[in-house]
Amino acid sequence: MDAFSHRNPLNLLRGVAVLMVIGHHFQHYLKTNLEPIGTYGGLLGVQLFFLISGYLIVISASRHHFFKFMRGRALRIFPAYWFVLLLASIFYNPVLPYAPEDAPYFWINFFSLTHFVPFALVKFDVLTVAWTLTIEWTWYLIAPLLLAVASVSWVNARIGKWFWALALLGAFLIQMLWYFSVKSGVLDPLFAASIAKIGISPINDHMRIAFMYSAAPSQWVFFVLGAALWFYQDTLKKVPASIWFIGGCAILGFPNIWPLGFSLSPSIASGLGLAALFLTTLQWEKPLSNKLLLPLHWIGDWSFPLYLLHVPVMLTLAKHFQMSSYFGLMVCLLISILLAGVVHFLVELPFRRLHRNSL
């Protein structure tokens, strides 16, 4: 494969997103000061991944019928996920064998659905990032549905080009409704039994943050925002990239303003800032494809296995070599990138080719 074949702005954004998440986790788990990435990198990195997914998935779903699309998603996600899960189980934190009564929870984790079932996540998620895959799967189901609705002749005639703007408004309203429902305790019964199985009853604020405030209905707005960027990009590109860049930096540079207005967490404000930088990268495609940025493009190309691998690598190094300094971060990053490259070439690429050859 041509080393430059994925040298595009979205791949660069994936590299930025995964490095932000790694920086956040390094500060969180190993207590090394990496501000401001340490505080906000995880939030922004995940939202950027969701935004990119929102943009790309509607393109893929619009080109293939539902079952081919879902098969492609399964071949994209599961082989690398299962391979890294096996590695982590062997070298870091074993999930096999498991007690017979825990079998359902093992399989829930195996198919990356743990964020629906808190006990399964606590018991078997040795990667600590699989919760975002659960949310990704909900988007894989929603995106084809939205495209189908958008293509209905009545919707085309009455709504037309406003469909994705209205979908974004609807996703924002769902986010607000979900947030205030969680805050009021209305949704506690939906999660109480599984959280009680962990040993926590009644539900506390930590569990609400981990499983409720961050649940799929709070995140859909970022995916739909990405889809709206896809649909309206020709119009949005008419605005100079410098304006988008300044606007994105202005929003993302002042995180204290994100909760203003509706006090949502996660906040669509940070998503809008990321969307502005997203549009900047689309317009700066040529300078961002410079060979000097090739390492970051490689990281973007390997971002999924790197995302899956970095926490087990980080915690293993910390446990056996007490690496919690900036030097430890560099070692962790180097080992994680090398392993991610191996998984990319040995696992990801063969299954991508399998999917392409079957189309």
Q: What domain count does the chain have?
A: 1
Give the range among 93-97, 172-176, 292-296, 302-306 with minimum mean pLDDT.
93-97
- Measured in Å, how far apart are the chain's first and last C-alpha atoms? 19
Query: In the predicted model, is pLDDT for residue 274 greater than 60?
Result: yes
**More confident position, 230 or 99:** 230
147-151 long-range contacts (CB < 8 A, ≥24 apart) are: 147/58, 147/61, 147/62
pLDDT score of 261: 56
The reported pLDDT for the residue numbered 6 is 56
Specify if 3 maps to a domain.
no
Per-residue model confidence (pLDDT) at position 262: 59
State yes or no: pLDDT of 5 exceeds 60: no
State which residues form the domain around 37: 9-358
Q: Tell me: the pLDDT tens digits for 258-268?
A: 776 556 678 89
Instruction: Say how far apart CA 227 and CA 121 lie, in whole Å.
Output: 29
Q: Is residue 59 scored above 80 in pLDDT?
A: yes
Do 15 and 294 form a contact (C-beta atoms < 8 A)? no
Calpha distance 61→48 (Å, rounded):
20
Query: Dihedral (C-alpha) 223, 233, 301, 219: value to the nearest 10 degrees?
Result: -10
pLDDT beyond 50 at 4: no
Between residues 227 and 285, which one has the greater pLDDT?
227
Q: Is it the case that residue 23 has pLDDT exceeding 60? A: yes
The pLDDT of 238-261, averaged and rounded, is 87
Q: Given pLDDT bands bounded at 50, 70 and 90, which one contains residue 3?
A: very low
Residue type, 277: L
Does the pLDDT of residue 311 top 90, yes or no? Answer: yes
Q: What is the predicted pLDDT for the residue at 260?
A: 64
Average pLDDT over residues 283-312: 88
Interval 127-185: pLDDT, tens: 999 999 999 999 999 999 999 999 998 888 889 899 999 999 999 999 999 999 999 99
Higher pLDDT, 52 or 325: 52
Q: What is the mean pLDDT of residues 245-273?
A: 84
Rg over alpha carbons for the chain, rounded to the nearest Å, is 20
pLDDT confidence of residue 124: 92
- Is residue 24 situated within a structural domain? yes
Residue 163 belongs to a domain:
yes
Please tell me the number of Cα atoms within 13 Å of 47 on its side-chain side.
24
| Angle CA 324–325–328, to nearest 5 | 75
Q: What is the 3-state secondary structure (H, E, C) of the chain?
A: CCCCCCCCHHHHHHHHHHHHHHHHHHHHHHCCCCCCHHHHHHHHHHHHHHHHHHHHHHHHHHHCCHHHHHHHHHHHHHHHHHHHHHHHHHHCCCCCCCCHHHHHHHHHHHCCCHHHCHHHHHHHCCCCCCHHHHHHHHHHHHHHHHHHHHHCHHHHHHCHHHHHHHHHHHHHHHHHHHHHHHHHCCCHHHHHHHHHHHCCCCCCHHHHHHHHHCCHHHHHHHHHHHHHHHHHHHHHCCCCHHHHHHHHHHHHCCHHHCCCCCCCCCCHHHHHHHHHHHHHHHHCHHHHCCHHHHHHHHHHHCHHHHHHHHHHHHHHHHHHHCCCCHHHHHHHHHHHHHHHHHHHHHHHHHHHHHHHHHC
- Residue 2, in any domain of the structure: no
- Does the pLDDT at position 2 exceed 50? no
- Of residues 258 and 270, the one with the higher pLDDT is 270
Whether 156 is in a domain gets the answer yes
pLDDT attached to residue 291? 78
How many CA within 13 A on the CB side of residue 304? 23
Q: Is the pLDDT of residue 9 over 90?
A: no
How sure is the predictor about 29, in pLDDT bands with cuts at 50, 70 and 90? confident
Is 307 a member of any domain?
Answer: yes
Nearest-angstrom CA–CA distance, 276 and 250: 10
Is residue 67 in a domain?
yes
Highest mean pLDDT among 19-23, 281-285, 354-358: 19-23
Q: Let me know if residue 1 belongs to a domain.
A: no
